Structure formats: structure tokens, C-alpha cells
Copies of this chain bind each other. A is one copy, B any other.
Amino acid sequence: MVDLLGMLAYGELVAFDRVAVDARLAPDLRRRAQLSTMAAAEIDNYRRLVARITELGADPQEAMRPFVDVIDAFHDSTKPRNWLEGLVKAYVGDGIADDFFREVAGLLEPDDRQLVLEVLHSDNEFAVAEITGAIADNPAVANRLALWARRLVGEALSQAQRVAAEHDSLTMLIVQGTGDLTKVGELIKRLMQAHADRMTTVGLNN
């Protein structure tokens, strides 16, 4: 459980400054402020997770440390080069992460389940509106963004495999929670299907 919260907490801390930097790519100050506000929300979530880790008798820094390299590696390999890439990254990344943690939350005790569900990203309307608007203005961007989305998912999967290989406790939580390895396969299938649906929503299903 501490492993899971540590991974979530470091994910939030990093999402905060990555999104804060990506906000500078915004074409105007209104959009920049909108993304900055989304980044700032991650810090509130971070604090709640750290409070819970402390409550469980663990050291938050120790709990986060095992995930620093893998989460940093994901972000280093997927730096957005423009505003739309930043938004697609937020949309794709938040979507998959939320789906994953929502599935895992089902395996937890009620208190922890509640906390994990509450720190998920509630709202992707802004990203959806920006991406679909940009594609409507210039359909040619859809191909590039679809390619970018595939790269994001590829990097996320390869880092997820690293986490699974390195963190037995997390892998066990999921295998035991779901029942067996077949169920883990089904979980991954559900995550990928939900991702494909989100791509369709914004017109990136090609």
C-alpha cells in the first residue's frame, strides 16, 4: 500500500512541475493560466498522499524514492515540443493513470480506496476542447498528434514493465487483487480499450 501511495505521490509531484513548464508553450496567457491551474491542483493531491503515507507510519521520501527514476525517465523521453503535444500528453497520461488507479483502488481498504479515487483527475474538458478545436482548424495535425499519442503509450508501457519487474509488492497486489495473471491481462486490455475510446473522442483514432 505504501508503495502504491509513494508511486502516486511522486507522480503528482513531478506532474506538477512538468505541467507547469508545459504551460509556457501556451499560445496565450489565458490558456497558459488554465494549464498552470491544473498543475497547481496536483500539489494538493500530493500533500494528501504524503499525509496518508505518514499516517501509515512510513517515510514519504523513502516511499517515493523507488519510483523517481522510472517516472523521471518517462517524462524525459516524452517532452512536448509544442502546446498541443503538451495537452495530448496530459490527456493521454492522466486518462491511463486514472484508469489504472481506479482499478487498483477497487483492491484496497475503504479509506485508502476513497483517497486514491479523490486524487484522480476529475476533468479533461479543457484538453478535449483544445485538441478537437485544433484538429477542426487544421485536420493535418491529427496524424502528427496520433503518432505522438502512440509514442506516449509506448513509453508508458515500457516504464510500467520496469515498475512491475522491480516492485514485487505492487505486482503481487495487482495479481492477488485481480485473482490471477489472466485477470491482469484483462485489466491491461480494459486500460487500452479505454485509451482507444478517449482517442476517438478527440478525433485521434487513426
Contacts and interface: CB of A to CB of B under 8 A. Distances in A.
Contact of A29 (B29, B44, B64): B64
A50 to B, nearest CB: 7
A121 interface: no
Interface in A12-33: 13, 16-17, 20-21, 23-24, 28-30, 32-33
Contact of A13 (B29, B47, B61, B64): B29
13 contacts: A13-B33, A16-B40, A21-B21, A29-B60, A29-B64, A29-B65, A29-B68, A30-B60, A30-B61, A33-B43, A36-B46, A37-B47, A40-B40
B17 A21 contact: yes
Contacts of A40: 16, 39-40, 43-44
A91 interface: no
The majority secondary structure among interface residues of chain A is helix
Q: Which 6 A-B pairs have the closest CB atoms?
A: A20-B20, A40-B40, A40-B43, A17-B20, A29-B61, A16-B36
Nearest to A22: B17
Contacts of A17: 20-21, 23-24, 36
A39 B60 contact: no
A17 to B, nearest CB: 5
For A13, A43, A61, which residue has the most chain B Cβ atoms within 10 angstroms? A43
Nearest to A16: B36
A132 B69 CA distance: 31
Nearest to A41: B40
Contacts of A28: 61
Contacts of A60: 29-30
Given A28-B61, A40-B43, A61-B28, A50 B21 contact: no
A159 to B, nearest CB: 19
Interface in A25-76: 28-30, 32-33, 36-37, 39-40, 43-44, 46-47, 50, 60-61, 64-65, 68
